[in-house]
Amino acid sequence: MARGVPQLERLEPHVRLVVPVMATGGGNGRSTVAGLLADAFALHGETVLLDTVPRLASPWPGWVATAGEGLAALPPDRPATRAQARTAAAAAAASGAPWQVMTDHLPWHVAPLSLPDAPEAWHQLAAIGGWQAVIADTEHRFTQDVMASRHTGTAGLGARWCSLPCAVPVLCAGANGEGMAALQTAVMAAEAEGLPLARMVVAVVAMSEGRLPAPVKAGATMLQPKVGAIVQVPYDERIRSHGLRDAARLKPRTLAAGRQLAEAVLSSAHTSWGEMLPHAAVPAAYTEGTTPRGLAPQAADHPR
């Protein structure tokens, strides 16, 4: 390695870092941010993006390079092996190191899959697959979810994603006045509910070319002490026209923003749990007549 070039951190085999990507509303680049994060994390370890959005509302079935068997191959009422989970995941159109996408590849006219809302179910799926970095593209509106849970006295989806083992949430907002106002409201709501703001990374997504508006810069400066990090994601016309169908053709500054987001997530994880990230639970091997359960790792890092 050349002198002066920092060594890229590799996730230990026993680690499972969960990164739920959420947004204050629609049109804030949530799926783009999730994809950039997954593409960057592929350099750090085996990575999967979990597409929790229903098929006809998700861009991921059209963004992958090679389709896998899809979520339909993993019925929730049947046990699955690591090999089955890996085969079900699609190959992403990566810019460098390979990563996978777990999405629904069924044709548009087929009845929609009944996807689970529970973050714990998606986490278990990632555990079965044995991936080290798990990026979740979520569909719920973060602030609405927080306020609804506040008034019903139940744990919302956002809080449950944040409470998963070794989870670092990423919150997306548009880089305009409306987006910054929504972000400020989201941060106030999360703070009132005791969500882990200090562990949260905020992605401010540019909606057009040019410099950030002054209100956006001022708002980001005010929020900086409350969150773990704020990262700007630049506008890229390639994403506007083609999505993430070929990440290798994105602008270098766009890919750099993905790496910056990944580094912010890793820094937040180390600040929260130390330099040695904790061991992830390993699903027990399934045998007929037993109930699947999570076990702490012993001799093996992952189920075979």
pLDDT digits over 244-298, tens only? 999 999 999 999 999 999 999 999 999 999 999 999 987 765 554 544 444 444 4
Query: Is 161 inside a domain boundary?
Result: yes
Judge whether 297 lies within some domain: no
Asked whether the beta carbons of 24 and 186 are under 8 A apart, the reply is yes
pTM of the predicted model over 0.95:
no
CB 171 within 8 A of CB 203: yes
Domain range holding 135? 17-107+117-272
**Mean pLDDT, rounded, for 147-163:** 93
16 in Cβ contact with 132 (< 8 Å): yes
Kindly state whether residue 222 falls inside one of the protein's structural domains: yes
Q: Is residue 85 part of a domain?
A: yes
Burial of 225 (C-beta count, 10 Å sphere; 0-12/13-18/19+): exposed
Q: Quick check: is 294 in a domain?
A: no
d(CA 117, CA 57): 15
- At 137, give phi and psi (nearest 5°): -90, 100
Domain assignment present for 46? yes
Has residue 287 been placed in a domain? no
Number of domains in the chain: 1
Q: What is the average per-residue pLDDT within 73-95?
A: 92
Residue 9 inside a domain? The answer is no
CATH number, residue 128: 3.40.50.300
Question: Does residue 139 sit in helix, strand or coil?
Answer: strand
